[in-house]
Amino acid sequence: VYSRTTFTLCYTAAMLNVVAVDLGGTNLRAAYFPDDDPRPHSQTKTPTKAYEGPEAVVARIVRSIEELAPADRRELRIGVGVPGPLDPVAGVVFETPNLPGWLNVPLKQLLQDHCQAAVVIGNDANVAALGEWRHGAARGANDVLYLTISTGIGGGVITGGRLLLGVKGLAGELGHMLVDPDGAVCGCGQRGHLEAEAAGPAIARKFRERLAAGESSELTNRLNASAEISAADVGRAAEAGDPLARSVIEDAAQIIGRQLASLVHAFNPQVIVVGGGVSTLGPLLFEPMERALRNGIMHPAYLTDLKIVPAALGDDAGLIGAMVLAREI
**Do 123 and 85 meet the contact criterion of CB atoms below 8 Å apart?**
yes
User: Comparing C-alpha atoms, which of 12, 120, 140, 114 is closest to residue 59?
Assistant: 114
Which residue from 121, 186, 272, 313 is in contact with Zn ion, where contact means CB under 5 A?
A: 186
Nearest distance, CB of residue 126 and Zn ion, angstroms: 16
Site for Zn ion in 146-175 (CB under 5 A): none
Candidate ranges 8-16, 116-124, 179-187, 297-305; the one touching Zn ion (CB under 5 A)? 179-187
Binding track over 191-230 against Zn ion, x by CB under 5 A: --x-------------------------------------
User: Comparing C-alpha atoms, which of 162, 62, 139, 109 is closest to residue 307?
Assistant: 139
Nearest distance, CB of residue 85 and Zn ion, angstroms: 11
Whichever of 65 and 149 has its CB closer to Zn ion, that residue is 149
Which residue from 60, 108, 135, 176 is in contact with Zn ion, where contact means CB under 5 A?
A: 176
- Note every long-range contact of 163-171, with CB atoms under 8 Å and residues 24 or more positions apart, other chains counting: 163/7, 163/9, 163/126, 163/129, 163/130, 165/7, 165/88, 165/126, 167/4, 168/87, 169/86, 169/87, 169/88, 169/89, 169/123, 170/85, 170/87
Q: Does 134 bind Zn ion (CB under 5 A)?
A: no
Whichever of 106 and 187 has its CB closer to Zn ion, that residue is 187
Nearest distance, CB of residue 176 and Zn ion, angstroms: 4
Q: Mention every residue, 6+ apart, whose C-beta is less than 8 A from residue 291.
A: 254, 257
Contacting positions for Zn ion (CB under 5 A): 176, 186, 188, 190, 193
